[in-house]
Amino acid sequence: MNKQLLLILACHFTVCGIAPMNTRIVGGEDAPPGSWPWQVSLQIFGSHVCGGSLINREWVMSAAHCFSSTSTARWMISLGRENLEGNNPNAVTISVSRIILHPDYDRRRHDNDIALLRLSSPVTFTDYIRPVCLAASESVFNNGTDSWVTGWGAFEEGVFLPFPGTLQEVEVPVLGNRQCNCLNGVGRITDNMICAGVLAGGKDSCQGDSGGPMVSKQGSTWVQSGIVSFGFGCARPNLPGVYSRVSRFQQWINSHIRSDKPGFVQFNSIGPDVDSLYTCPGLPPPVTMTTPTKSPTTRPSALTPTCGIAPMNTRIVGGEDAPPGSWPWQVSLQRFGSHVCGGSLINREWVMSAAHCFSSTARWMISLGRENLEGRNPNEVSRNVSRIILHPGYDRRRNDNDIALLRLSSPVTFTDYIRPVCLANHRQHDLCWCSGRRQRLMSGKMLYKSPGQRRKDLFILSYVSSLPLQGDSGGPMVSKQGSTWVQSGIVSFGFGCARPNLPGVYSRVSRFQQWINSHIRSDKPGFVQFNSTGPDVDSLYTCPGLPPPVTMTTPTKSPTTRPSALTPSTPPPTVSSAECKYNDGKTCCMNVIKESVVPEIELDVDSIIENYILSLVFFVILCFSMWNCSYEHQDSWR
């Protein structure tokens, strides 16, 4: 019986081609129970043969090379299993009713190495049995993207049995296909494959892991990018493992699964695709990259991956804990109970955030009045999201028009801890505050600077000691006008975080007033005209490649009755209470602003010019002391 079993297993591991099939975890460690709830064990006569991943209640995905035929006889699927032997209280075993191999599977070249298995009956999801999301067809996994491979494969190359008792996990970075081709032999790696491994060796998948998943985390969502397929040895230096690229098979998978479709998620790696520049003898010339070296990215949400570049960081750099209720419009956008992005409450039913936070519109929750991401929040209220609207002009590559609106499932009641923010309807230049979350609500102060890129829907901040980081995406930047807080920006992207001379970039709220009002038909948000004091010294700023500044015209010499923005004694503009009021008689931004009349001030032109020149000299000196005027803002993406 044992000899027959070994023969059967050997047949299933046999792969014709250049090198023996290698499909196991090398250099891994025990996986905590329930940490990979989609991992399944494909078994014959109760013995583990291959791995696989649960993709919905009835279907499992694995590798085609695990099957010598499509006969379902003797095949069983074990789900929720942690150990191959001993007690598994959370395990469920189900027979297989159908096996589908990809019609173009090439056993010699390992191309299109993918298979679907239908369970004989639907499985019930538990904490230990859950499906994995699949990489959608447009997903991008750049060189260096952090990935995890799981399985029960052997510990050493060439050792088939015994397999490890406990499910193993190992972290390996993605390796670009061009580099992988050069390492494994030009022409062996096709577009249907994705590579991963440590070039120094020591970590890899191998025998027994075949068909198992390789996943990457995008925020709180795990996305399967690859299926363990083959390799040249196991964990050898400069020989990464090769996996079937899941995103290439979205159409084929959906063609066989007619109902309860798997969850396909678009995964977008951050940073330039350096693999496109990799070359070696015999490899076609690389595609010329038009993107400059410095590469900005969106402030990653949990749906905008940071793997391969830097670990997820969700706090304000240089910020401090915000007192409870100090930013009552700040909300937390959550999926599966985990914070993904920030946002701002703009009326009883609508929240504003960044478009780059959303690759999916399902399963979103909004937490309002929350102070801590963990622990007790007595003032918190949660709402489902009934609608998500992304700006039609949103450009994910350039981060342009990075704004989104979310409608709550039901109106919220205003409290001291839950209130809407006023929105800017005019360009502003002032001291601003940005709030975001780590474990507690954080806030940081920063000085506004006008856009060096001259893009009308974005604006740039300086004050490099306190800037938003990943996880603050979609959150508000506000400025105070009198007793009114006005949102001027939405956290969007930046070149690093809190780096000298590299300010963060925010979507300019005032540019979207018409678009916002076109979707919010009743209970309009409170738009407030914000007018900064002082001259616009940014109009005189220049650097190589920037168009000449606009010439400022000198006003005619005549008295004026309009209040001068150049006169320090002029009180700030005020807002009518009717302009920003809600049904409860209160205004947005916490404080009711009563109507007042701005006193008329008469100044002759000589006074205006004198004040202007003094202010201009001060700001120019400040500019040169704070900025290196020869620095370059390269319009590139990190």
pLDDT of 452 above 50: no
Whole-prediction pTM: 0.45
Clarify whether 426 is annotated catalytic. Answer: no
Point out the catalytic residue in the list 41, 78, 102, 113.
Answer: 113
Domain 29-265: state its class. Answer: mainly beta
Point out the catalytic residue in the list 473, 479, 488, 532.
Answer: 473
Point out the catalytic residue in the list 210, 269, 507, 532.
Answer: 210
Residue 449: what pLDDT? 37
In this structure, which amino acid lies at residue 33? P
pLDDT tens digits, one per residue of 567-597: 223 233 333 333 343 333 333 443 322 223 3
pLDDT of 80 above 80: yes
Task: Give me the half-sphere count of Cα atoms (radius 13 Å) on the Cβ side of residue 456.
Answer: 4
Q: Which 8-state DSSP code applies to residue 301?
A: -
CA-to-CA distance for 74 and 43, rounded, in angstroms?
8
Give Cα 56 to chain centroid, integer Å. Answer: 24
CA-to-CA distance for 626 and 68, rounded, in angstroms?
69
Count the neighbouring beta carbons within 10 Å of the beta carbon of residue 614.
12
pLDDT tens digits, one per residue of 356-406: 988 777 789 999 988 777 667 788 899 999 999 999 999 888 889 999 999
Point out the catalytic residue in the list 65, 102, 339, 633.
Answer: 65
Asked if the domains at 29-265 and 330-408 fall in one CATH topology, the answer is yes
CA-to-CA distance for 391 and 374, rounded, in angstroms?
32
Looking at per-residue pLDDT, the higher value among 340 and 549 belongs to 340
586, 592 in Cβ contact below 8 A? Answer: yes
Clarify whether 111 is annotated catalytic. Answer: no
What is the pLDDT averaged over residues 225-251?
84
CA-to-CA distance for 514 and 558, rounded, in angstroms?
36
478, 486 in Cβ contact below 8 A? Answer: yes
Dihedral sign, Cα of residue 200, residue 202, residue 203, residue 207 = positive
Dihedral sign, Cα of residue 159, residue 161, residue 166, residue 167 = positive
Clarify whether 356 is annotated catalytic. Answer: yes
Clarify whether 275 is annotated catalytic. Answer: no
The CATH number of 422-528, from 3.90.79.10, 2.60.40.3950, 3.40.50.970, 2.40.10.10, is 2.40.10.10
In this structure, which amino acid lies at residue 2? N
Point out the catalytic residue in the list 146, 275, 400, 402.
Answer: 402
Provide the total of helices (H) and of strands (E) in the chain, helices listed first.
Answer: 5, 31
Clarify whether 584 is annotated catalytic. Answer: no
Point out the catalytic residue in the list 356, 391, 429, 633.
Answer: 356
Q: How far is CA 547 from CA 157, 449, 460, 544, 551, in A?
A: 62, 17, 18, 9, 12
Residue 165: what pLDDT? 73
For residue 505, give the nearest of 521, 517, 488, 520 by alpha carbon.
488
Burial of residue 401 (CB within 10 Å: 0-12, 13-18, 19+) is buried
Region 330-408: CATH code: 2.40.10.10
Query: What are the boundaries of each domain within the chain?
Result: 29-265, 330-408, 422-528
Looking at per-residue pLDDT, the higher value among 328 and 575 belongs to 328
Q: Which pair of tokens denotes residue 446? A: 């920063």
Q: What residues does 374 pair with on adjacent strands?
A: none
Clarify whether 209 is annotated catalytic. Answer: no
Q: Among 45-49, 264-268, 299-303, 381-385, where is mean pLDDT lowest?
A: 299-303
